[in-house]
Amino acid sequence: MGWEGGAIMDQVVCKPFSLPTITTIPMELKKKEHDSLYQYQPFEMETAHDYRSGGLLAVDVDSELDNLRYEVIRKLGHGELSTVYLALDTKTRQWVALKAFNARTSKKMEKNDNFEQVVERANKCDHVMHELTRFKEKGLNGEHTVQVFEVMGPSVSVLWNCMLNDAVKKKMTQLRSPMTKKIARQALMGLKELHDAGVVHGNMDMTNWLLELDSLEEVRRKKLEQDFEEPESFLENVKQKGAPERIMADQPLFKFVKMDGGLHIKLSGMYSSFIENGPPSDGKHPNLHLRTPEAILNPSQINRSIDIWAMACVMFEMLTGSKLFEFTRTKSKEIDDQHLIEMNNLIGAIPEKLAANWKPSNAYAKCVGAHGHITPPQDIKPKPILEAHFDNMKPSTIDDNEASQIKSLLRSMLQYDPSKRPSVDEVLSHPWLAA
C-alpha cells in the first residue's frame, strides 16, 4: 500500500520511515505567543463527588506520599480516572509527576495482565512518557495506584483550547494547519514506536499528547509551587467525606515548555493500552468520539488500526476546531446508536456484514432497518459526507490543494475495514504529512 497522486493505492512501495532522521520539528508559534495563550485557560478541577468511596485520592499541597518520599507542591492536571501532581522526590532530589488513580480503577489495573508488559515496552520508546516507578497509597476512598513519571507540560488539548478562544482564534487560524501537521507527525512517531513494540495505545486523544519541558533543575522552588492568588484557583471548605478540605485547580507548567526548535511532545495515557495479541474483550474506549465501528459492534476484533482511526478523528478536530463525531444522548446504548448513525452519514453506508451486529436501543429501533438501512432520526442533524463536511468546517487558510490532500488522508484512515487502514509508516509518508 502506498500513496500516489493523493490517493492510496495497492502494490505501491512506500519510502521507509526512519525515526532517527527526525530530531526536532520547528514550529511557527513563538515562545512569547505560546506563553500568552494560557491566560485563556479556564480554571478547571475535579468535583467533590469524585472523592466518594472508590474515587480519587485526597491530596493537597504539602501532602507526603509513599512513606514521606514524595512531597507534593502543585497540581498539574486531572482526568476522569486520576489526578496528577508535581512532587519532589526527597530521595533523589528530582522533580517528578505523580499520577494517582482512583481506587476503583486501581483495582482494575491489578487484574490487567497486559499492563506490566505495556509499561515495560513503552519505557523503551523515545517519544512515549516513561514510568519511573509505582507505589500504592491508602486513603479514605480505598487503595490507590500511583505512577511516577518524568515531569511534562500541558497537553496539546489545553494548548488547542486556548488557541480556539474567541480573543485569539482569528490570529491563530493561520497556524492551525502547520501546527497540526508537525504535532501529528510527532504523535505518529510515538505511535510507530508502540506499534513496532506490539502495543496498541488505545486512546490517541490530544489530552494524552504532552508538551516536553526545559530542565527544572535550576528553577527556584517558589516558581513551581501552586498559585492560590486567584479565588477561582481552588475550592475550599469541601465537606465531602474522603475529599481534601481544599480542591486545587489544574496548573500545568506552561511557562517552562521546551521550545528549542519548536514544540516537542510525548505520548501518555497508557492505561487504555494493550498488547496487540491480547486486546480487552469489551473494547471499551475512554473517549467515545474516537471509537471505531468495530469497537462498538465487534469489540473482540480490535487491533492496532483503532489508533489510525483515532488519529484521523483528532487531526480533523485540530484542523477544524470541532469533533468529527458528537453526541447528545447520555445513555451508553443510545450513544452507540448516535455514533453509528453519524458514521453512516459521514463515512458512508456501514457494510452489511458489520451492520448485522447492530442491535439498536429502543430510542432508535425504528430508525435502523434491515441490512443497516437508516432512516434519519429527528434528533440527529444529518451531516454531509466526510469530504464536504471538511470543506464546510475547515479554516479559510487551507486552500483547495491542501484540502484535497488532507481529505485523501482522512478518507484512507477512516475505512470500515480495519485491514484497509494505512499503517503508521504509510500515514507518515502521505504527501501532506511528508511535505
Of 232-236, 251-255, 385-389, the range with the lowest mean pLDDT is 232-236
- Please report the pLDDT score of residue 184 as a whole number: 98
* DSSP-assigned states of every residue in 222-258: HHHSPP--SGGGEEES--STTS-SEEEPP---GGGB-
**Torsion angle of the four alpha carbons 263, 266, 268, 274, in this order, in degrees rounded to the nearest 10:** 140
Contact, 125 vs 194, CB < 8 A? yes
Q: Distance between CA 309 and CA 322 in Å, rounded? A: 16
Range of lowest pLDDT (12-16, 142-146, 296-300, 380-384): 12-16
Note the residue count of the chain: 435
Residue 165 scores a pLDDT above 80: yes
What proportion of the chain, given as a percentage, has pLDDT over 70? 91
Helix (H) or strand (E) holding 147: strand 142-149
The confidence band for 35, taking pLDDT boundaries of 50, 70 and 90, is: very high
What is the overall mean pLDDT for the chain? Answer: 90
**Tell me: the pLDDT tens digits for 112-131?**
878 899 999 999 999 999 99
Three-state DSSP class for 421?
coil
Which CATH number does the domain 42-158+211-274 belong to among 3.40.50.150, 3.40.50.720, 1.10.10.410, 3.30.200.20? 3.30.200.20
Per-residue CA distances from 337 to 133, 294, 310, 330 (Å): 41, 13, 19, 11
Q: Of 7, 20, 13, 254, whose CA–CA distance to 127 is shortest?
A: 20
Query: Which whole-number Å values give the CA distances from 118 to 83, 104, 125, 276, in the listed order?
Result: 21, 20, 11, 10
Nearest to 76 by CA among 52, 45, 48, 54: 45
State the pLDDT at residue 50.
96
Could you tell me the three cell numbers for 261?
Answer: 526548535
Q: Is the pLDDT of residue 323 over 50?
A: yes
Rg (CA), the chain: 22
CATH class of 279-434: mainly alpha
Residue 24 binned pLDDT confidence (cut-offs 50, 70, 90):
very low
Percent of residues, the chain, with pLDDT higher than 90: 73
**pLDDT value for 91:** 97
Query: pLDDT at residue 163 above 60?
Result: yes
**pLDDT reading at 366 higher than 90:** no
Per-residue confidence (pLDDT) for residue 8, from 0 to 100:
42
What average pLDDT does the segment 83-94 reach? Answer: 98
pLDDT tens, residue by residue, 369-395? 766 677 778 777 888 999 999 999 999
Q: Is 328 helix (H, G, I), strand (E, B) or coil?
A: coil
Q: What is the pLDDT of residue 3?
A: 61
Q: What is the band of 21 on the pLDDT scale with cuts at 50, 70, 90?
A: very low
Least confident of 106-120, 143-157, 319-333, 369-383: 369-383
pLDDT of residue 284: 63
- Given this model, what pLDDT does residue 285 score? 64
State residue 9's pLDDT score.
40
Q: Which residues pair with 139 in a beta bridge?
A: 142
Q: What ranges do the domains of the chain cover?
A: 42-158+211-274, 279-434
Q: What is the pLDDT of residue 147?
A: 98
What would the pLDDT profile of 179-202 be if each residue is shown by its tens digit?
A: 999 999 999 999 999 999 999 999
